């Protein structure tokens, strides 16, 4: 009887795990359907995860790691800084403040749900299914790509690298690129040499999605696969990243400076320049929630946008605010100041240290996921979206493994 109960629990957990992955990965597709747009899939799933954390902890409490308590403490400090910033800047509106608090907390809710909702060996038990899942998704999307190249069912007018950018069933190429990338990561969890055709299909899909970040992370991903092959189960030390990161920054500094710091025409550069101004104006707390760069600040069209004369720039106006929330880091600097940004940087360091304690495929999987998320913070509100939720849900589930090697 006990064995039957365990099998039932295992099947239920597996169904829950893949349901979350599928719903989050394809939530942009669902929300692009007018009838289903009101579901707001990201918020619905994350809210259910929060309820799940409470129920699982009441039923069978699980202890957190010391670093995780530190992450929670830093997040609470950031929230307190945001509220203090609202008091200093005079930007109020309880609804918008609560929406922003929820927005920055979603990925952490997803992480702790992944950590607490599944038994210790659950992630390793799902690897075969994850590999099969990745093959199916990549295979279907590749067939859709071939059809769309011959007969454009999902037409696009965007041209990048001299090719027509492919969206397929997604509302934006970023989601197509990220979905394929997640599935390629799944393929890397076991017997990579048998999955090379699907990795090539995935690479072509990302190429036709024409996202710079996707192409960069294909290179990083294949580097990690080579490291795994030659180093076997040796741990990848985080210190190995220092030289490549410094080299990349030096090599692309002119592009970074132009697009993010000194340009007078680049949207993200204007956001960063404004964020530092705001952080200086409302030091040391920042301007608070719903004040700059967040979804709530756009809905409310924060008074700071008028003060900074953003209405003079295309994409920054009330009628066309498409570029106003184009960077998570710019939003963080403005809303939480330098202290809040330092707290968030400390959270990222803690995650890196936890990844550093792993080895084998689990370490490679979580490291590439984490680097993908961190890089995305500079170019979009990544961790407040479905992609950020899935990233931290998967990292949390993988961290639940008792053994550090797979």
- Domain spans, the chain: 1-119+235-257+329-400
Which of 216, 236, 215 lies closest to 224, judged by CA?
236
DSSP state of 358: -
Query: Residue 228 in contact with residue 405, Cβ under 8 Å?
Result: no
Would you say residue 406 has pLDDT above 50? no
What is the mean predicted confidence (pLDDT) over 209-218?
71
pLDDT, one tens digit per residue, over 52-83 is 888 888 888 887 888 899 999 999 999 999 99
H helix or E strand, kind and range, residue 164: strand 163-164
Determine the pLDDT at residue 335: 93
Determine the pLDDT at residue 244: 65
Determine the pLDDT at residue 248: 62
pLDDT, one tens digit per residue, over 328-371 is 888 999 999 999 999 999 999 999 888 888 777 788 788 888 88
Q: If you average pLDDT over every residue of the chain, what do you get? A: 82
Determine the pLDDT at residue 74: 95
What is the mean predicted confidence (pLDDT) over 366-389?
83
Query: Residue 81 in contact with residue 344, Cβ under 8 Å?
Result: no
Which residue did the predictor score with more confidence, 109 or 166? 109
pLDDT, one tens digit per residue, over 146-201 is 999 888 888 877 777 677 788 888 888 888 888 998 998 898 888 777 888 898 89
Determine the pLDDT at residue 141: 93
Question: At a CB cut-off of 8 Å and minimum separation 6, what does 377 contact?
Answer: 327, 328, 329, 383
Would you say residue 405 has pLDDT above 50? no
Determine the pLDDT at residue 293: 84
Q: Name the token pair of 145.
A: 């790509």
Name all contacts of 383-388 with Cβ < 8 Å and 24+ positions apart. Answer: 383/104, 383/106, 383/107, 383/328, 384/103, 384/104, 384/106, 384/107, 384/294, 384/295, 384/328, 385/42, 386/24, 386/25, 386/27, 386/28, 386/41, 386/42, 386/175, 387/175, 387/178, 388/106, 388/107, 388/110
Would you say residue 102 has pLDDT above 80? yes
């Amino acid at each position: 009887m006990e064995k039957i109960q365990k099998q039932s629990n295992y099947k239920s957990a597996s169904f829950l795990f893949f349901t979350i992955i599928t719903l989050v990965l394809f939530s942009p597709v669902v929300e692009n359907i007018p009838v289903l747009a009101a579901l707001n899939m990201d918020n619905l799933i994350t809210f259910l995860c929060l309820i799940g954390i409470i129920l699982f902890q009441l039923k069978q409490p699980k202890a957190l790691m010391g670093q995780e308590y530190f992450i929670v403490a830093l997040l609470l400090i950031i929230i307190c800084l945001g509220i203090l910033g609202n008091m200093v800047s005079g930007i109020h509106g309880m609804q918008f403040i609560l929406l922003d608090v929820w927005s920055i907390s979603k990925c952490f809710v997803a992480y702790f749900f992944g950590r607490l909702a599944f038994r210790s060996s659950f992630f390793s038990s799902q690897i075969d299914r994850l590999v099969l899942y990745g093959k199916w998704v990549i295979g279907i999307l590749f067939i859709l790509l071939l059809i769309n190249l011959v007969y454009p069912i999902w037409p696009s007018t965007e041209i990048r690298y001299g090719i027509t950018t492919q969206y397929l069933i997604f509302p934006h190429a970023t989601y197509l690129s990220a979905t394929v990338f997640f599935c390629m990561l799944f393929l890397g969890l076991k017997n990579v040499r048998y999955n090379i055709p699907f990795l090539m299909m995935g690479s072509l899909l990302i190429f036709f999605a024409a996202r710079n970040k996707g192409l960069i992370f294909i290179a990083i991903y294949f580097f990690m696969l080579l490291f795994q092959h030659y180093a076997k189960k040796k741990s990848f030390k985080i210190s190995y990243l220092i030289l490549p990161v410094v080299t990349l920054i030096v090599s692309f500094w002119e592009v970074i400076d132009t697009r993010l710091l000194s340009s007078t025409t680049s949207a993200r550069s204007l956001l960063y320049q404004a964020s530092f101004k705001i952080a200086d104006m409302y030091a040391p707390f920042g301007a608070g929630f719903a004040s700059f760069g967040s979804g709530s600040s756009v809905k409310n069209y924060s008074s700071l946008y008028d003060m900074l004369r953003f209405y003079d720039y295309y994409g920054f106006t009330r009628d066309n605010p498409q570029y106003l929330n184009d960077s998570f880091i710019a939003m963080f600097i403005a809303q939480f100041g330098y202290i809040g940004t330092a707290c968030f940087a400390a959270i990222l360091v803690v995650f890196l240290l936890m990844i550093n304690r792993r080895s084998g495929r689990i370490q490679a999987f979580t490291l590439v996921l984490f680097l993908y998320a961190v890089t995305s913070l500079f170019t979009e509100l990544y961790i407040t979206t479905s992609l950020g939720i899935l990233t931290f849900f998967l990292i949390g589930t993988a961290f639940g493994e008792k053994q550090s090697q797979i």
